[in-house]
Amino acid sequence: MFTAVFQHHHAYLAVCTLVALVLGGSAWLLARRLGKPYGTWWGWLAATLTGVLGVTFMGGGPAGGQCVINHDLAEPFHTTQGLWNLALTVPLGLFALLAVRRPLPVLAGVLTLPVAIEFTQATVSGLGRVCDSSDAEMNILGGLLGLVVATVILASGRSVDWQGGAKAALVTVVAALLLGTGVAEPMLTFTNIDGTGLSAANSPQRRAVEQAVRQAFGDRYALGHVYEQPCVELSCTNILFTLLSRDKNHPRAFANGNLSWPDKKHLNILLEDGNRSAVMGYPVEGAKQPANEQEAFRIAQSYTDKRYPWAQGAVVHRTFPVGEKAELGWMTNWRWLDRDVLMPRMLDVQVDKAGHISQVDVTLGPTHVPLEKARLDARQAEKAVKEAMAAQAEAHGRGTPHGLAVKAFTLKAVDRDGAWRPEWLVGVSADPKADEATMASDAGDAWHVDAVDGRVYDGSGTQVGTD
């Protein structure tokens, strides 16, 4: 909900502060005219509430209609945003009790206001931001902390009505629960995370994503959630993110993407899939609905000429349908070859049936690297994988897998521990006749075989020995 970065919002914050002071002063004057006690605290409460709402909805945009439910309750305590969210509402709970002097209504407000704010951010365009349970958690804790501090301050006096407003507070909480389950929940899409694999991205990571998205699509989309996810069993990190539609007619449309970190060499953005509205597709100027591969290629080429002009230097390109009848459009690959070895730099662009860009996959890297001459051919690479699979199965107490199709399909330059190596990419797929255990445990990502020394790496990048 709240970010600690106020860049380019100084004027907004100045106006917000001025409005908060005006409304706070007005509340104080009104309390005095009505003869209400504690008018000063009412003024501070009005000013604080104005400030909280102003900062909360600062820079609001399209509503995404989705909320992240973080099951790791400790995770926001380790982030700057989480601590700011907590500090933001401490004065709110403090001034609320000093003004109202009834703990139960204040408690009801502290519990329901952050949830209402997150719901508003998820559903109201123009006020949309990131809807996250961690934000509500920290806002509630901050309000409770302020409430406790005010209780300690007032404990020695007799001005607190401990039972006052109990009925109203109960009605408020029950109504919020009923509205949440009956109205709010059907309007939202929830993404559950446990916090063990995902954590909030830091400022450099978010800036890197913003730069990569701007390179690919300019300012067409708003950036939503940004998370850091460590690779499994590898010393790398992926930055996962969502893109939100700026189209006021489709405020809930969104897309997903990921960026490798810290090298920032691989970017993948899926704007559309078979179950997603085509509204997120990126339009190419002058493009019409393609009817075949040639027309789809011209659209993709027009896009790359503007966004990735370096693709013009590719040695080969290929366009093919996605789906049996091009239901999802056409994909164009740009590749660089050096002595029949696939180089690290690659670009894939998918064009949908409407002529929009629906997916972009960018791999930055050199177009030429020094390599030793390959000594293993495709057949020898396939044999090495079969032997490695048998050894791996034996090490895990399983029988040799059967019914798998093993096919070496290309020779590629791979950065292995800081040195470039020519490696065969070997696909392992399940034959329809394979038994279920074999299909589940052995078919998967491409295996790699070093074309010089014959070392074998499984789909996770782990070296597999045959000794």
From first to last of the 467 residues of the chain, give the pLDDT tens digit: 444 344 445 677 888 889 989 998 999 999 888 888 888 999 999 999 998 888 887 766 566 677 878 777 877 887 777 788 899 999 999 999 999 999 999 999 999 999 988 888 888 776 766 688 888 999 999 999 999 999 998 887 777 888 888 888 898 888 888 888 777 777 777 766 655 456 778 889 999 999 999 999 999 999 988 988 876 545 578 899 999 888 877 777 788 999 999 899 999 999 987 644 468 899 999 999 999 999 999 999 999 999 999 999 999 999 999 988 888 899 999 999 988 899 999 999 999 999 999 999 999 999 999 999 999 999 999 999 888 888 877 776 666 666 678 899 899 999 988 899 999 999 887 654 433 333 333 334 688 999 999 999 987 777 887 65
Tokens representing 412? Answer: 């590629």
Tell me the residue type at 363: T
pLDDT of 235: 59
pTM of the complete model = 0.58
Q: Please answer whether residues 67 and 254 qualify as being in contact, where contact means their C-beta atoms are separated by less than 8 angstroms.
A: no
pLDDT of 5: 42
pLDDT of 12: 76
pLDDT of 228: 86
Q: Tokens 């199709």, residue?
A: 405
Q: Tokens 């409304």, residue?
A: 23
